[in-house]
Amino acid sequence: MAETVIKQVEKNNKEIRQNSSLQTIFTLINLMIGGTILILPSLTLQKGIIITPLVLIITGGISYKTCSIYNSLMKEDEIDVQYPIKRILGKNWLPNGYIPCKITDFFSVDPDNWAPFIVSCLYLLMLISVLPVYWDVTKRRISPFLGNGSETISQKNNLIMNTFFILFGIGIKIIPDITADQIASFNGSLTIFFFVYLIPIIMHFVTFNKVNKFLLAIKILFLKICDPIQDTDKNDTKTQNTSFLSENDQPNNIQTQNSDQFMKYLKLSSQN
């Protein structure tokens, strides 16, 4: 009976794992070109550093093919993507897209030049696709690191970290300040690649190393900024509570010794 159950489980597992990694990669890339960044960190950890550039090359090839489709729809006198868009979608597209953007005043739209508007939309899509990666890095890597190995940190620290990552993600759109003409150049492509793809990957890998001196210095600075009030409150409540404790209920000496050694290690690491 047990052997039958084991064979049935193995059969079900084989049926579930029919697709190869390459097929899964192609499927994900075809379904979400801009969201490929979501699988790059885990793909690099599971398959290695060689597979990741291959996936990026495949993504670039698909983007290149998409651009060639755009170019095939352009006429000889059309020098930018805005012209086939206006020609294909019709005249109603201009007021329907221009008026809402003027109301929101989020995008700067020129009726005679729609290229910056398209670039702004691309930046917004990149920002939306990359924020989950920052969220994953925050929750799974930086939060346990700042919490001394625990999965939870204080609500104040959590709010500060989330605010920082949201502002950092907005900076992806603001800092490069690439125009429509520059986005097609080599430097513009490198800037987008760096801010959108490399920064979350670098953060993902760096936060694995919990003995990193740079991260330890950031941690000390972070705790000094965020926790001075909390530390004083904890010390006050600790002095009040320990006075009512009996000798058997005093704090464990091993725990206090370990915390003292940890603080000494942080100070030495910051000095080095």
Handedness of CA 146, 151, 155, 159 (dihedral sign): positive
Structural tokens at position 35: 């969201």
pLDDT tens for each residue of 174-209 = 544 544 455 445 555 555 555 555 655 555 555 544
pLDDT tens for each residue of 74-122 = 777 776 666 776 676 666 665 565 555 555 555 555 656 666 666 566 6
Is 256 strand, coil or helix?
Answer: helix
Does pLDDT of 144 surpass 70? Answer: no
Task: Give the start-to-end residue ranges of the domains of the chain.
Answer: 1-73, 110-175, 176-226
Alpha-carbon span 174 to 165, nearest angstrom: 14
Q: What does the radius of gyration of the chain's CA atoms come to, in whole angstroms?
A: 26
